[in-house]
Amino acid sequence: MASGPLSLPMEHLKTLLSNSATFQSWVGAADAAEALASIYMVRVDEETFTRPLAVIDIGEKYYSNIRSGGGANFFQKRGELLLMFEADVVEGSTSEEAVLNFLDNVGGCLADMEELSGTPEFLSLHEIEFDEAPTRSIDDEEPPEGDFYRVKFIVTWGL
């Protein structure tokens, strides 16, 4: 269970993503609680897993800056998390259909997260940027673990 300033943002991003209607639909979940089963922390630990899925990891940056306001001082926190999506290519789909389907689902998840961001109970997102552009596994030189797309983002949270 997350409890500190470095782990709580990871848990909050997991909650935010699980509340994405697009993500719920994509993974076949009835609600946010069921969608949590398709979101992993750090890596996929299970030998058998089902795509689509998401993986959340700690990023490279964390800031805690003091702010002064009248008689009160407080620390304002900001940091980075990594967010990866993977989804199998639907058998029989063309290359164009496969990439557009993947990008539409990922884009829908990001849009949902942006809409929910900063509202009560959800992580406040500051910026989302590519860490690794979308790639298809069969384009890699190594033998793939199936035919799937993957994309990685850096998610900056806080103010």
pLDDT tens by residue, 67-90: 777 667 777 888 999 999 999 999
Task: Tell me: cis bond preceding 52? Omega within 30 of 0 counts.
Answer: yes
Q: Report the DSSP pairing between strands 148-158 and 125-136.
A: antiparallel
Strand, helix or coil at 16?
A: helix
Which pTM value belongs to this model?
0.91
Q: What is the C-alpha to C-alpha distance for residues 134 and 95, in angstroms, rounded to an integer?
A: 13
Model confidence over 89-112: pLDDT tens digits?
Answer: 999 999 999 999 999 999 999 999
Q: What is the C-alpha to C-alpha distance for residues 23 and 29, in angstroms, rounded to an integer?
A: 8
Residues 6 or more apart whose CB falls under 8 angstroms from that of 148 comprise 51, 86, 87, 88, 89, 136, 137
pLDDT band at 142 (very low <50, low <70, confident <90, very high): low
Tokens of 15: 């909650």
Q: What is the C-alpha to C-alpha distance for residues 118 and 130, in angstroms, rounded to an integer?
A: 21
Q: What is the C-alpha to C-alpha distance for residues 134 and 157, in angstroms, rounded to an integer?
A: 22
